[in-house]
Chains A and B, each alone.
Chain A
Amino acid sequence: MGRACVLLFYLMTALISVLIRLRLLIAQTYSVGVLTFLIVVVSGFFIGMVLGLQGYTTLSDFGAESALGQIVGTSLVRELGPVMAALLFAGRAGSALTAEIGLMKATEQLSGMEMMAVDPIKRIIAPRFWAGFISMPILALLLSAAGVLGGYLIGVEILGVDNGIFWARMQATIDFKSDLLNGIIKSVVFGFVVTWIAVFEGYDTIPTSEGVGQATTRTVVYSAFAILGLDFIMTALMFGDF
């Protein structure tokens, strides 16, 4: 934990040099984003369809099918968008980051860079960290958008909820500040924590093949715990009536 905090401190101070070498940051954001984009969109679509089905079945017991847009929209924007996107991100991009950095360490690439008087934290770790940080909120929004489409497909196109009512209820109940903004805050926090865990586990890897394997597993497990735990805490703070 102490070493993770030291690394975080270096990552923060490296922000300026990352911004100076914008090309590295853009390249990393692109590769992190591309890794996760398709998974996020496809998963979001399925999640939305499940929400549409389950929501419709439950709501129709009360004759409240018209509230489907609201259910789908709020659950995605508040919860499922940020949480699912972060879990997928940890599984796909986070583990890949850890493995990549861990392997670079195991094959002496990081040491080699240091001997060439290049700081690997600035050159390798920091651009990846900040790229993950930037990508996460975008991925969460994409997941929510794909989910809304999935919910629309099931609810309106297949189960026959009124098109206008579906969208109107969604618009009326999703509040910019309390829903959208809170959802974005969540995904920013998740992005920060997941990429931090991923780059730290990579940088701290025992430089052997087992070491890299173990570090990759740890990234996924710790990230999942962190995401779900933090989600509860943030939900309680944002939406709880204490």
Chain B
Amino acid sequence: MSHASKDAIVSVENMSFSHGPRTIFDRVNISITRGNITAIMGPSGTGKTTLLKLIGGQLRPQSGQVTVDQQVVHQLHRRHLFELRKRMGMLFQSGALLTDLSVFDNVAFPMREHTQLSESMIRALVLMKLDAVGLRGAHPLMPSQLSGGMARRVALARAIALDPKIMMYDEPFAGQDPISMGVLLKLIQVLNNALNLTSIIVTHDIKEAFTIADEVYLISEGKVIEHGPPDDIQNSSSKWVQQFIQGHYDGPVPFHYPANDYQTDLYG
């Protein structure tokens, strides 16, 4: 079965990847539809961040391929890869703001690196991007003065600085208070529609993901367990899926880390 359809902007085909001896992905197929918000979900450590790095061409798969905008990322020449990346924005889990630059300079950074725009033009654009995330007033602050949620929004403003076509979010909701969570949810949705983006959200926050995603992928132990619209997933008959989305502590994913027999451990 081929997942590479016409309106797939990102497609992962039969892709396998391992960190040394550890298999992270085992012949995975994922197809991201243009214009959609796709949530990729799975327990911590399943390789969600790794997947985004594979799409961004920072890692290369051992087999299979990753295609973005009809280009096979890991076959691209470095210069072309960099061109492609200008059309992709990525929001890192930690925000990844440059700590020695102010909020303004952080958002201006990609513009100064990649365009010949005049300073006054850059100023106008930076303020516009910051305004879009509601932080125009914070432009003179340093990253260390921002709260976690604000840092993430600044990073978001920076990620959209070059008007990307694809936005990738790595755990955007992790560690956010309910209000920042709501703000981020709204922003992701609004930006996706207003800027005609395709958004990929990697997360393990079920509720948030199910609210905004058009399509959901569940991955675990290197495989895609289930995919489809949120409603279908919610009604899935798979025990694993039910455990994951309802957060039962025991089930197909056992509560206990594999161990010897309790008796044997206790009495030798």
Contact = CB atoms under 8 A, between A and B. Distances in A.
Contacts of B89: 115
A108 B92 CA distance: 7
B58 A116 contact: no
Contacts of B53: 111
Contact of B97 (A109, A111, A114, A119): A109
A1 interface: no
A111 B93 CA distance: 11
Contacts of A123: 113
Dominant secondary structure of chain B at its interface with chain A: mixed
A111 B96 contact: yes
B86 interface: yes
Given A115-B85, A115-B88, A108 B96 contact: yes
B94 A117 contact: no
B172 interface: no
Contacts, number: 53
Contacts of A111: 53, 58, 92, 96
A54 interface: no
A187 B97 CA distance: 36
A53 B89 CA distance: 64
A114 B96 contact: no
A24 to B, nearest CB: 12
Interface in A96-144: 104, 107-109, 111-119, 123
A109 B88 contact: no
Contact of A118 (B90, B92, B113): B113
A112 B92 contact: yes
Contacts of A114: 56, 58, 85
Given A115-B85, A115-B88, A108 B114 contact: no
Interface string B52-96: 010010100000000000000000000000110110111011101
Nearest to B98: A109
A7 B4 CA distance: 38
Given A107-B99, A109-B99, A111-B58, A117 B92 contact: no
B85 A116 contact: yes
Interface size class of A (residues with CB under 8 A): 10 to 19
A119 B79 CA distance: 11
A117 B97 CA distance: 15
Dominant secondary structure of chain A at its interface with chain B: helix
A143 B94 CA distance: 42
A53 B83 CA distance: 64
A104 B113 CA distance: 19
Nearest to A118: B113
A149 B106 CA distance: 46
Interface string B98-116: 1100000000011001100
| Most chain B beta-carbon neighbours within 10 Å: one of A104, A109, A119 | A109
Contacts of B98: 109, 112-113
Interface string A214-235: 0000000000000000000000
Contacts of B114: 117-118
A111 B110 CA distance: 14
A108 B85 CA distance: 16
Contacts of A119: 82
B90 A107 contact: no
A115 B98 CA distance: 13
A107 B96 contact: yes
A100 to B, nearest CB: 9
Contacts of B58: 111, 114-115
A108 B86 contact: no
A108 B94 CA distance: 7
Given A115-B92, A118-B110, 20 more contacts: A104-B99, A108-B92, A108-B96, A109-B97, A109-B98, A112-B90, A112-B155, A114-B85, A115-B56, A115-B88, A115-B89, A116-B85, A116-B109, A116-B110, A116-B113, A117-B82, A117-B85, A117-B113, A118-B109, A118-B114
9 contacts: A107-B99, A109-B99, A111-B53, A111-B96, A112-B155, A116-B86, A117-B82, A117-B110, A117-B114
5 closest A-B pairs by beta carbon, nearest first, are A112-B96, A108-B96, A117-B82, A117-B85, A115-B90
